[in-house]
Amino acid sequence: MKQRILVWDLPTRLFHWTLALSFAGAYLTAESERWRDIHVLLGYTMLGLIGFRLVWGIAGTRYARFAEFVRGPSAVTRYLRSLAGPQPEHYVGHNPAGAAFIVLLLLLGIASGASGWMVFEGIGGEWLEEVHEFFSNAMLAAVAVHILGVIASSRLHGENLALAMITGRKQGHAGQAIPGNRPLAALLLLAGLLGFWGWSVYDGGASFDTAQASREVQEDDDD
């Protein structure tokens, strides 16, 4: 018998919503010189979060593990084909198509964050700024498809997937549930985030200024 079971542990949910907010914030502040420190801070936050997620993809609970949800192109095609049939495949964790997009989002997050870091540190010239912009826009497009996929999949399977990413719970059989929320790992992630932001505000501002200064020197040299 189906019941509400725990599927997404707390660190996965915390990772998801802080990543979504960091990306949104970094994207919105990208064009403004005034908001540059916030933009950089959120970009580094994204990189740190993805670093955490790579570890959690190995050490996390069942449905958070890459081995559980990363599947090959044939599984993606089979899943997509099944959607047109009378019995669409249903997954308690990520479905294969959603999972492929999750991998893409993580890769684009790394590419966008790393290229942004290089631009900010004055490594590379204007071409790298173009590359950074390209990856960031590609990520925005991937996020749009991700959200559309979440809406489509929620309608198709009659379940609210966005709510499940908040509560951690979905319909399933008791044996499919994860054993617990892993609150200690979530606390460590939260402490890491707050620690990094605190350090950036009280002390790290100085290191941002140094990077900014080196960038300006390089721009002067380029002129």
- Residue 30 binds ligand HEM, judged by CB under 6 A: no
By CB under 6 A, the residues from 163 to 222 that bind ligand HEM are 165
Handedness of CA 21, 107, 141, 99 (dihedral sign): negative
Nearer to ligand HEM, 156 or 213 (CB): 156
DSSP string, 130-194: HHHHHHHHHHHHHHHHHHHHHHHHHHHHT--HHHHHHH-EEEE-GGGS-S---HHHHHHHHHHHH
Instruction: Report yes or no: 23 and 139 within 8 Å, Cβ to Cβ.
Output: yes
Question: Could you tell me how many helices (H) and strands (E) the chain has, helices first?
Answer: 9, 2
Among 100, 102, 178, 189, binds ligand HEM (CB under 6 A): 102
Nearer to ligand HEM, 159 or 216 (CB): 159
- Residue 80 binds ligand HEM, judged by CB under 6 A: no
Per the document, the length of the chain is 223
Among 6, 14, 18, 23, binds ligand HEM (CB under 6 A): 23
Site stretch for ligand HEM (CB under 6 A), options 32-40, 72-80, 91-99, 196-204: 91-99
Among 156, 162, 187, 201, binds ligand HEM (CB under 6 A): 162
For residue 26, give every residue at least 6 positions away whose Cβ sits within 8 Å of its Cβ, in sequence order, or none: 39, 42, 43, 46, 116, 136
Hey, what are 151's tokens? 């809406």
Among 5, 16, 37, 137, binds ligand HEM (CB under 6 A): 16
Residues in contact with ligand HEM by CB under 6 A are 12, 15-16, 19-20, 23, 53, 64, 94-95, 98, 102, 105-106, 143, 146-147, 150, 161-162, 165
